Each structure stands twice: as C-alpha cells, then as structure tokens.
Chain A
Amino acid sequence: DTAVSQTPKYLVTQMGNDKSIKCEQNLGHDTMYWYKQDSKKFLKIMFSYNNKELIINETVPNRFSPKSPDKAHLNLHINSLELGDSAVYFCASSTQAGGYNEQFFGPGTRLTVL
C-alpha cells in the first residue's frame, strides 16, 4: 500500500533524449515536490505544486517541466537530456504547503544519462 510511488525506478537513456518520470501519492495531500539528489548527495528542491498550482520553481533549466494533472500526481518531463542530469530524483508530498509540514518521499528514480 504505497503512499508515494514513482515510475520508473531506474532510467537509462542517451544524451539528447526526452524522458518523463511519474509520481503518484494516495495520501490525500495537497502539496507535491520534486527533489534532485546529485552525486555529492545534496538533496535539492526543484519544484513544488500546491493544489495543482506551481509554488516553488527553483533555478532549474527550462528543459525540466513539471506537470500536475491533479492533486495526486506530479510528473517531471525532461527534454534534451544532458550528462549532468544524471541523479536520483525524489518525489514527495505533504498535507499542505508551508515549511512546518512533514514530507513523505517516494523511493526515488535513478536517472543515468549516457
């Protein structure tokens, strides 16, 4: 009974390709996030949606585009993949936006760009 799920778990692709990562939460939360964990293990926020509205958009190349079709889903599309995009991407959700709410994380998607 997974709370926050991501697909795929592993993604290996060539430079220049376009790929998507999907995230779903069944917790009834209003807010969802995408994080990137790079090779140095920094876990950095990329985007956040609250009730399908974008509320956080960090300095991320515009090749990355999040899409939230409904409150339970937040997908991440990446165009023209580059070697530096290789990382683990985590989706998370919380009951509401705001810094006082515990976030529930998915298992991560390990993206490898060759």
Chain B
Amino acid sequence: DQQVKQNSPSLSVQEGRISILNCDYTNSMFDYFLWYKKYPAEGPTFLISISSIKDKNEDGRFTVFLNKSAKHLSLHIVPSQPGDSAVYFCAASAKGTYKYIFGTGTRLKVLA
C-alpha cells in the first residue's frame, strides 16, 4: 500500500524551461511534505518543504504547490539547469508520527 506515489519515473526537460514533478498521496492525515533531491552514489538532500496550512512555498528557482483536496503536490523548477539532473523524492508526514513516507522518485534529466 503505497501512500505516496510519484507516477512518472522519469522526465526530460530542456535547459531554461520549467520542470514540473508530481506527487500524489492517499493519507488525508499527512500534513507536512518535503522534496528531496538525490544524486547518484549520494544520500538524498533536502530541497523544500510545505505545511498543509499553505498551498505554495517558494525558494529561489524551486516552488512547491499543494492541492489538499486533490491530495496532490508538485515541484516546479524554473529555469531548469543541467545541475538539476537528479532523482527527486517527495515525502509526507502526519502529525504525531515520527516518520516520513517517501515516494519512489522521479528521475529528472535537464538537457543542455
């Protein structure tokens, strides 16, 4: 039972264009969401987060949107750069728990 799903295993985008990575969840108790970025042979690194009381959070080129009614979040990267090529994981947590549930990741390739 995968509570956090990233249905696109891979995505290719031209440099300078927008990258949109999607994540869906099923547990309505989730109230905090994060995106992590992972390069090969390294551990995931934190990118950006959003609380369920917000519908948008922005940090530089990265913006996360949350649609609670649709149980959907997305990560927008504008403009995309070749260095953004990595695997992106979304993760969700519910209040009162001590853990994050991770999606299976989307591999982003930004083409120069």
Contact = CB atoms under 8 A, between A and B. Distances in A.
Interface in A51-99: 55-56, 90, 92, 97-99
Contacts of A50: 98
A98 B32 CA distance: 11
A102 B49 contact: yes
B43 A105 contact: yes
Contacts of A90: 43-44
B111 interface: no
Interface in B68-104: 87, 89, 93-102, 104
Contact of A97 (B44, B89, B98, B102): B98
A42 B89 CA distance: 10
Contacts of A41: 87, 104-105
B41 A45 contact: no
Interface string A92-114: 10000111101111111000000
Interface residues of A, number: 26
Interface string A19-54: 000000000000101000000111111001010000
Nearest to B51: A100
Interface in B1-58: 2, 31-32, 34, 36, 41-46, 49, 51
Nearest to A41: B104
A41 B106 CA distance: 10
Contact of B43 (A48, A98, A106): A106
Which of B44, B89, B104 is most buried by chain A, counting CB atoms within 10 A of its CB? B44
A105 B44 contact: yes
Contacts of A56: 98-99
Given A99-B99, A107-B42, 9 more contacts: A40-B104, A41-B105, A44-B102, A56-B99, A90-B43, A103-B46, A105-B44, A105-B45, A107-B41
A92 B96 CA distance: 19
